[in-house]
Chain A
Amino acid sequence: MEQNKEMTASESLALIAETMNNSRRVILRTNAKHFILWGVLLTVLSLVIYFLWHSTGSANWNLLWFAMPAIGYGTAALVNNKKDADPKNEISRLLGLSWSAFGFFSVVLSAIAIFAVPMNITLIIVLLLGLAECISGVILKSWPIAIAGMIMGIGGAVAAVLLKSEAQLLLFTLGGLLLAVTGLVIKLQYK
């Protein structure tokens, strides 16, 4: 696009549509990276805590969950530490806000459950995870993601009551896989 040529009305409209679609695709592909990153992290961490809990019999390994935000945001900062930041649009802003709200509620409620009022924190977090996933699906206008979020939230909440001790952690493994798959779906959708 070197020439500052004059264009016809239809050429101008086509250029506008093409340019806006291209930048939207690039921005959403960047979001896909974040879904994959957090999904892989959740899967790996849940399996690590599961095996540590299972082999030692101590539930204290759950404190490792508090390292997740530091690891996740640290890795995200490294991934984004390039000279040229990708821009944000309304969709990426809404996705960021939804998942930040999920992170905030999860960390605060986990702290309350551990240090003040005991509660079935797996049920609450898996429900929040499903809700955030469902909202992401609605924002992205992707019914498979929205429905997967509903199944995760509702099915996960029921399973969290039925499953005991470390077996509950496997729900987060599934949740992590779901996030990573969501990232792959976005990547393919906006190829």
Chain B
Amino acid sequence: MFPKLDPILHSELRLAVISILAGVEDADFSFIKKQTGATSGNLSVQIDKLCAAGYITVEKGFKGKMPRTTCRITEAGLQAFSNYVTALQEYLSAGK
């Protein structure tokens, strides 16, 4: 019996976002946008979904006079990401 893949993470853009955040302390919205190549609108929607699931936190502030949105992965997000990778590896090893 294979573990069920987390539907929140099993989406290309959300998975890319969580992969970036898993390797850094925090990241600006614009950094994530540049790394993923997504549009602002689509990225905002996916970030909201990750935030609603409790996988990331979003902090809005300013750097000088410019607005700045910072995202950070939570403990729950790291655990979900780890479980997701483990599940993927099980799928792949079963397929060999």
Contact = CB atoms under 8 A, between A and B. Distances in A.
B31 A87 contact: yes
A5 B20 contact: no
A6 B15 CA distance: 11
Contacts of A10: 92
Contacts of B78: none
Question: Chain B interface residue count: which class?
Answer: 35 or more
Interface of B: 10-16, 19-20, 22-28, 30-31, 34-39, 42, 46, 63-64, 66, 68, 84-85, 88-89, 91-92, 95
Interface of A: 1-7, 9-10, 12-13, 15-16, 19-20, 22-24, 26-27, 81, 83-89, 93
19 contacts: A1-B36, A1-B37, A7-B12, A9-B91, A12-B15, A13-B92, A16-B85, A19-B36, A22-B35, A23-B20, A23-B35, A26-B31, A83-B30, A83-B66, A83-B68, A84-B30, A84-B68, A85-B31, A89-B23
A6 B84 CA distance: 14
B12 A15 contact: yes
A23 B86 CA distance: 22
Given A19-B20, A88-B25, A2 B10 contact: no
